[in-house]
Amino acid sequence: MQSLKKFLIIAALACGVSSGVNAQEWGEFAYISSTMGVSDGRICTGEASRGAIGCAVNAPYVSRTSGWLGIGTSNPRSNLYISDNSNQLLTLDRNSAGTRKSSITFAQQGVNRWQMGIDYNDTNTQNFYIYDAVNPYYRFMLTNYGLGINANIPSATLHIGGAIRMAAEISSTLQPCDANRTGAIKYQSGDFHVCRNGTAWETLSDVASGAASLADRITSGTTQVITRQNTSITLATAGVERVVVGTSGNVGIGQQPFDSTAYGRHLSVYNNISASTASANAGLSIQSTSRNATLHMIAGSTGASLIYFRRDSIDSTEGQGAITYSNAN
C-alpha cells in the first residue's frame, strides 16, 4: 500500500496534477499526522514512527507573497525573522574540537565587508572579534586578557592602535573629582585634567611642572579647604569638592566654575543626582526669619538686569526665557 501511494504521488507530480492540489487534498496521497495536522503557510515535516506528514502550527512559516521565513511568528518582516520570549534566540555553535570559527559575514553586492565571530586565528581559544574584510584588519578584539581597538592581540586591559580624542565636557555634564573617579582623565578648557586624589581635578600641566603639589590644605577628617597658588580655592566635604572659586572669580557649587565671556562673572549651581525627587533639584535659597528676603541686581546705566531660564545647559537656547529690566523698559 505504501509503495502504491508513493507511485501515485510521483505520477501526480509528473503529470502536473500538483499545481491543482492543495494541502487539504494531501490525504489522497499520504498519511496526515493527527498530532501535527496541516497549518497554512507552515513548513511540513515527516513523522517517521507512522510514516505520516504534517505542518505543525509551531513550524517555521513561509510567506507566500514575499518568500520571507518566520520562526516563532507568522508575520515575518525580513528575509529571516525570529521571534520568541526566551533569552536565547539564535545560537552559532562550532560543533568541533578542531580549529574553526563561529562567525557572521556581512556582504554588499556580493563583496564581503565585515565579519564578526569568535576564535579569529582558529586556535580553539576564547575571543570575540570584528574584522574589516575590505581593509583587512581586526578592528575590535576582546580576549580574556583585554580589549583591543585596531590592535590584533591586546597586550593590556585596553590596547588602542591609534590616536584617542577626548571631547570637552559641557556644563550640564561636568563631573566632580570624587572617590568614584580617582584615576580619571578629562579634557576641559584647553587642558587635560586628572583626578589623582579623589578630591579635586588637577591639570596635567600643573602635575608635570610640580605646581599641583603646591596646594595648601586645611583638613579635618574628610572636610578640606584647598588652595592652589594663583589657581583656585576649593571647599570639600565627605571627600567631595562642593564649592570652587576659580582664577577669574567665578564660583561653582557642585561643579567647577563655569567660565564664559558671554556672561561675565558667574555663580553656577549644579546637581548631578539622577532622581525624580526633590534631592535632584538645583536651587538658590534666600531666607529671612523675621524680615524681607531680597535679591538685588544692580546694572550699569547702559546695562540691564536679567534673569535667564534655560533647559539642558547654560548655552542651550531650547526652552529659554528671560526676565529683563533696563532703563529703557
Q: Which residue has the higher pLDDT, 205 or 328?
A: 205
Confidence of residue 319 (pLDDT cuts 50, 70, 90): very low
**What is residue 19's predicted lDDT score, i.e. its pLDDT?**
43
Average pLDDT, the chain: 76
Q: pLDDT tens for residues 103-146?
A: 899 999 999 999 998 875 656 566 889 999 999 998 999 988 88
Residue entry with cell 492543495: 22
**What is residue 62's predicted lDDT score, i.e. its pLDDT?**
92
Cα separation of the two ends of the chain: 104
DSSP code, position 257: P
Picking from 180, 279, 164, 186, the residue whose alpha carbon sits closest to that of residue 238 is 180
Q: pLDDT tens for residues 206-265?
A: 776 665 655 677 877 778 787 766 677 888 888 777 888 877 778 888 777 766 655 566
The contacts of residue 261 (CB under 8 Å, 6+ apart) are: none
Handedness of CA 180, 185, 186, 192 (dihedral sign): positive
Among 75-84, 112-121, 220-229, 318-327, the minimum mean pLDDT is found in 318-327
Q: Measured over all CA atoms, what is the biggest interatomic distance in the chain, rounded to whole angstroms?
A: 111
Q: How many CA atoms lie within 13 A of 50 on its CB side?
A: 12
Helices then strands, each counted (H, E), the chain? 2, 23
**What is residue 161's predicted lDDT score, i.e. its pLDDT?**
92
